Amino acid sequence: MSEAGSEWWRTAVLYQIYVRSFADTDGDGLGDLPGIRSRLPYVSDLGVDGIWLTPFYPTPDADHGYDVSDYENVDPRFGTLADFDALVADAHDLGLRVIVDIVPNHTSSEHPWFRNALADPNGPDRARYVFRPGRDGGPPNNWESAFGGPAWTEDERSGEYYLHLFAPQQPDLDWHNETVRQAFQQILRFWLDRGVDGFRVDVAQSLYKERDLADVHIPDPRPRFGDWHTGLQQPELHDLYREWRQIVEEYPGDRMLVGEMFLADQTRLAEYVRPGELQQTFNFRFLFEEWEAASLRACIDEILAAFAAVGAPATWVLENHDVPRVATRYGGGAEGVRRARAAALLMLALPGAAYVYAGQELGLEEVDLADELRQDPIFARTGGRRAGRDGCRVPIPWTTGPGVGFTTGTPWLPMPPWWERSSVAAQDGDSQSMLELYRATLRLRRQLRALASGRLAWRDSPPGSLVFERAADSSTVVCVVNVDAPSVPLPEGELVLASDELEGSFLPPGTAAWLEG
């Protein structure tokens, strides 16, 4: 690890591990912490700076861990606190940082606070949640759950409704309640004391609700990003994140906070990473761009300008556990994989930090599961209108043969017969594979000094392509991406990396290259 105070997070590449899908050591078909620990050498060898673990806390699993019933423990299916400590120690020995997910917007409905809140409407735990009387025989306002249906469920015993921006088993906390704020300070310290290097803050834009809980205007069709929801993104959030920043800064080692913010407006997004607030926020604009040169360039420019204005690093994401795999989004099949390879070179040449979701480095495609196998609450709550997110959560293939090295039991989601062809074992050492491309790209990213600090400057290039340089301390790296032009000439310089074979000194469509010069 780099030293304390180095602001390592400005350029870090973090590897997202969806805990239940990574590696299973006890044969129950669910990944676990010892499994992750056993695979840390693989992660380190990939060339990333750290890992982000999705929730591993005790959970009834209504939303696969994002419904936490105890914030200071490990679900027995995933291991123990001792396993967690051993995982952190091993990761640190390998020079990997460890970021954990924190879920402050809502608890599980099985959390003791919520059980108490239902059992005793006059007790103190009731005020930790958002309970309100109904209106005209229905919910208190017109808010909708992100998973479909109303954002309110009636507590039949009292006749009041409680708010849940997600599933009914995920009741929202009332962040205006001081005890909630204090409890989370304690939770942060609990994990910081155990050595974590930071937190990924779930639903980071929505903790505070507008006090009146007034109706909101819901655009139709409903936009992908949450900018329109005037009942959320309250100003109090900035104070909270300043407070959390102070807490992480009390600890040595430059620990960090990254917010999961689902906003399109870059200026508003960047307000959360002003000095003294969060160090990073995810930025999903890049992820949702089409594979189209002009719009990619405009999006990159807008993001870089907004984040530079507040002195914060941009973050780049192509995949996570909530969206279809990138190769599939870019068209699927050979073409989708080809574009995903080029996109890796593009993303990892951009200024700032980046996130790689486990399996992205294997070029895994979205799996189309039979409806009866789907487990994501989105599928059930929308009556099957939205397929949900299971297709990007299918466990990682490590080897060939039954269980593909993920499990000796029955995997929690079935793996397709062709899965083993994408396994780590199948790709290891094959210079044409996606895995070796990621390894080479991440290795070079560390070596090429210009990629650590150089500003991005665009160069002229044919329509349908992107060419930019990053220059620092007399070293220059040029990234050229043929998005969909008929052919793009290689710029001058020494070719150090290409996502696929070139045609002489030309890049065919869906190809990217790095040059030094």
The site for ligand NOJ (CB under 6 A) is made up of: 63, 66, 103, 166, 202-203, 260, 321-322
Residue 250 known to be catalytic: yes
45's enclosing H/E stretch is helix 40-46
Which is closer to ligand NOJ, CB of 203 or CB of 444?
203
Which is closer to ligand NOJ, CB of 146 or CB of 488?
146
- Give phi and psi for 353, each to the nearest 5: -105, 160
Angle of helix 434-447 relative to helix 333-349, nearest 10 degrees, comes to 10
CB of 352 to ligand NOJ, least distance (A): 20
Tokens of 72: 């200071």
CA–CA gap between residue 297 and residue 440 (Å, rounded): 25
Buried b (16+ CB within 10 A) or exposed e, 160-198: bbbbbbbbbbbbbbbbebeebbebbeebbeebbeebbbb
CB of 66 to ligand NOJ, least distance (A): 3
Residue 281 near residue 204 (C-beta atoms within 8 A):
yes
Residue 202 known to be catalytic: yes
The residues near 484 (Cβ < 8 Å, ≥ 6 apart) are 291, 292, 293, 464, 509, 510
CB of 284 to ligand NOJ, least distance (A): 11
CA–CA gap between residue 300 and residue 450 (Å, rounded): 18
CB of 146 to ligand NOJ, least distance (A): 7
The Cα-based distances of 213 to 131, 181, 223, 230, 376 in angstroms read 11, 20, 21, 10, 28
Residue nearest ligand NOJ, CB atom distance: 66
Which is closer to ligand NOJ, CB of 135 or CB of 386?
386
Sheet with strand 198-201: strands edge to edge: 280-281, 256-259, 198-201, 97-102, 50-53, 13-17, 353-357, 315-317
CB of 260 to ligand NOJ, least distance (A): 6
Which is closer to ligand NOJ, CB of 155 or CB of 322?
322
Which is closer to ligand NOJ, CB of 380 or CB of 471?
380
Which is closer to ligand NOJ, CB of 66 or CB of 291?
66
CB of 172 to ligand NOJ, least distance (A): 10
Which is closer to ligand NOJ, CB of 104 or CB of 351?
104
The Cα-based distances of 353 to 37, 162, 409 in angstroms read 24, 38, 37
CB atoms within 10 A of CB 119: 11
CA–CA gap between residue 252 and residue 250 (Å, rounded): 7
Tokens of 95: 């020079």
Which is closer to ligand NOJ, CB of 126 or CB of 321?
321
| Annotated active-site residue in 49, 75, 202, 319 | 202
Relative to beta strand 97-102, strand 50-53 is parallel
Tokens of 483: 């998005």
Instruction: Tell me the one-letter amino acid at 14.
Output: L
| Annotated active-site residue in 3, 220, 250, 372 | 250
CA–CA gap between residue 266 and residue 306 (Å, rounded): 6
Which is closer to ligand NOJ, CB of 11 or CB of 16?
16
Tokens of 265: 């407006």
CB of 390 to ligand NOJ, least distance (A): 11
Q: 431 exposed, middle or buried (CB, 10 Å; 0-12, 13-18, 19+)?
A: exposed
CB of 173 to ligand NOJ, least distance (A): 12
- Give phi and psi for 125, each to the nearest 5: -70, -20
CA–CA gap between residue 293 and residue 488 (Å, rounded): 13
CB of 392 to ligand NOJ, least distance (A): 11
Which is closer to ligand NOJ, CB of 206 or CB of 328?
206
CA–CA gap between residue 24 and residue 215 (Å, rounded): 45
Beta bridge partners of 468: 458, 479
Which residues are part of the catalytic machinery?
202, 250
